[in-house]
Amino acid sequence: MSKSPTVYDVAARAGVSIATVSFTFRQPHRVRETTRETVMTAARDLGYVPSASARGLAHGRTGALGLYSFDYFGQSINEVVRGISSPSLHTGAVFSDEDNEDFRLFPLYHDEIQRGMEAECGRRGYVLMVGEGGAARSQSDIAEIAGRVDGLAVLPNTLPRDVLGRIAERIPVVELSVPFKDNGLHQVSVDNFGGMKALTEHMIDEHGLKDLVFVGPNGSTDKQARHEGYTQAMRAAGLTPNTIETDQPDPIQFVDGVVRNWMNEGELPQGVLCSVDEEALVYMDALKKAGISVPQQVAVTGFNGVAAGLVSRPSLTTVRQPLIRLGVMAASILVDQMTKRSSNPVVEELPVKVMIRESCGCES
């Protein structure tokens, strides 16, 4: 924690000017080899670490990209960690570190997106800064991260539109997983509609199921497209769409109730198409608890393709998003835009893939 050595210290020790020190690091080819070595040695001896702040200030760019995520559960993750609030599954997220809380299914897809960004950042010479918060955050909070990066990727339901717009005036901003909106921002999403439509068709065509119910929270942007895909496939087959909104504070309990209700009424659906994997896992559990076998009596499917769906029994038929690639693409767009900024926003829609596994009734 002693005061960090600066270019001045290195320069003094090496007997050169600070410009030479700077050149040695930034444009090594411009300094004579002997000089370079003298400087490098001095730097090493001193334990010199260039100040990113100073560099950023002088150079006009920070060298960092930002990923701004929703907070978990529409509230600060801080509170969740403190155990103040009860977990919920809306966002596909649940968790607590409490010893007696066993259930923790994070929105794993967020992690994968981040990983993609991280990778692309590394490749393009940037570092990644992560932030989180809900739409409620104040403008100054946002500045906290926007002022630190040269480009920003944001997940849905995080920053209000006007704030995003303001940030976008300074640095490129890409929205992830949002349905197309012509709002001037760059966008990267996946084919939620097509994926869900294909999956629904699989259930109808391959398994001959007719009574298929779609379950999922509403309000979430990309889930709407999935719902659309489901609806369209059902209609095309002359079937009646049927939707249950899981938008409840305690999804596990809610789903148990739904299943119980089905049994009381004596009318189990033939298949439950969930808008996210985590939800599907909950349904599988609830059905199992109720003595109903999946997929024999009721088929269940998810969406996203998180790892948990691979190890579940039965393994989960789902639609896999290229999450890593989403992150890679976001970072890539940002970096590209920083150099040659295009007049029109870049809009990418990545393909998804239906992953047929066991829970739909196919032998895996």
Partner DNA sequence: GTGAAAGCGCTAACAA
Partner DNA sequence: TTGTTAGCGCTTTCAC
If contact means CB under 5 to 8 A according to the sort of partner, which of its own copies, DNA, none does residue 83 touch? none
Rounded least distance, CB 108 to its own copies, Å: 7
Which positions from 297 through 336 interact with its own copies, judged by CB under 8 A? Answer: 307-308, 310-313, 320, 322-325, 328
DSSP 215: E
Q: Which is nearer to its own copies, 72 or 209 (CB)?
A: 72
Report the 3 state secondary structure along 114-167.
HHHHHHHHHHHCCEEEEEECCCCCCHHHHHHHHCCCCEEEECCCCCCHHHHHHH
- Rounded to an integer, what is the distance from CA 283 to the centroid of its chain? 23
**Half-sphere exposure at residue 321, Cβ-oriented, CA atoms within 13 angstroms:** 30
Residue 35 found at the interface with DNA (CB under 7 A): yes
In the structure encoding, which two tokens stand for residue 143, read together? 């500045």
Closest CA relative to residue 124, chosen from 341, 328, 325? 328
- List strands edge to edge, sheet with 271-274: 243-244, 212-215, 271-274, 299-301
DSSP 315: P
Q: Which is nearer to DNA, 53 or 364 (CB)?
A: 53
Q: Which is nearer to its own copies, 45 or 211 (CB)?
A: 45
Residue 118 found at the interface with its own copies (CB under 8 A): yes
Residue 2 found at the interface with its own copies (CB under 8 A): yes
Determine the residue type at 72: Y
Interface mask toward its own copies for 54-83; x: CB under 8 A: xxxx----xxx-----------xxx-xx--
Return d(Cα 84, Cα 156) in angstroms, integer.
24
User: Which of residues 6, 35, 75, 139 is near its own copies by CB under 8 A?
Assistant: 139
Residue 139 found at the interface with DNA (CB under 7 A): no
Q: Which span sits near its own copies by CB under 8 A: 10-18, 47-55, 235-243, 259-267? A: 47-55
Interface mask toward DNA for 41-80; x: CB under 7 A: -------x-xx--xx-xxxx--------------------
In the structure encoding, which two tokens stand for residue 305, read together? 């393709």
Q: Which is nearer to its own copies, 131 or 231 (CB)?
A: 131
Q: For residue 190, what are the contacts with CB-CB under 8 A and spacing of at least 6? A: 177, 222, 321, 322, 326, 349, 350, 351, 352
If contact means CB under 5 to 8 A according to the sort of partner, which of its own copies, DNA, none does residue 313 touch? its own copies
The single residue listed with the structure tokens 């509170």 is: 79
Q: Which is nearer to its own copies, 234 or 356 (CB)?
A: 356
Residue 33 found at the interface with its own copies (CB under 8 A): no
Rounded least distance, CB 236 to its own copies, Å: 26
Rule CB under 7 A: which residues touch DNA? 3-4, 6-8, 15-23, 25-26, 30-32, 34-36, 48, 50-51, 54-55, 57-60
